[in-house]
Amino acid sequence: MVYQLVNGDPVSASIRPTVLSLVLIPIFLAACASHSGVVPIGSGIYMITKQDYSLNYSGGKVKAGLYQEAAEFCRGQGKEVEPVSDTAQDAALYRNYASAEVKFRCK
């Protein structure tokens, strides 16, 4: 086993890849989606879109997450979400990722 001195203490070189993985994996997973955030599109209507690049193949699951985000947004205004329209597309191997779009009002 190879040891290195870190701050005067011996540390196994095999620990370094594990620590690096614990730091990089959450960063990689956070970057696995394209997300618009809440966007006002006029007449009191808002839109949120998301494309999920992870192993999630369900457009419905992406859409459910967007409705949760819409509800939080409206709650922050002391209102409830009112759906206007939505779309969802499941992932297709080598063609597209799971995605969804939600349009809503806060009432």
- Per residue in 77-107, pLDDT tens? 999 999 999 999 999 988 899 999 999 999 9
Residues 6+ apart with CB under 8 A from 13: 1, 2, 3, 4
- The answer to whether residue 67 scores a pLDDT higher than 70 is yes
What is the C-alpha separation between 20 and 9, in angstroms, rounded?
19
Task: Assess whether 56 and 97 both reside in one domain.
Answer: yes
- The answer to whether residue 61 scores a pLDDT higher than 70 is yes
Task: Assess whether 27 and 62 both reside in one domain.
Answer: no
Average pLDDT, the chain: 81
Task: Assess whether 67 and 48 both reside in one domain.
Answer: yes
pTM of the model: 0.68
Looking at the chain, the number of H-run helices and the number of E-run strands are 2, 7
Task: Assess whether 20 and 61 both reside in one domain.
Answer: no
What is the C-alpha separation between 78 and 73, in angstroms, rounded?
9
Higher pLDDT, 39 or 17: 39
What pLDDT does 65 receive? 96
In the chain, the N- to C-terminal Cα span, in Å, equals: 64
For residue 17, what are the domain limits?
A: 1-31
- The answer to whether residue 46 scores a pLDDT higher than 50 is yes
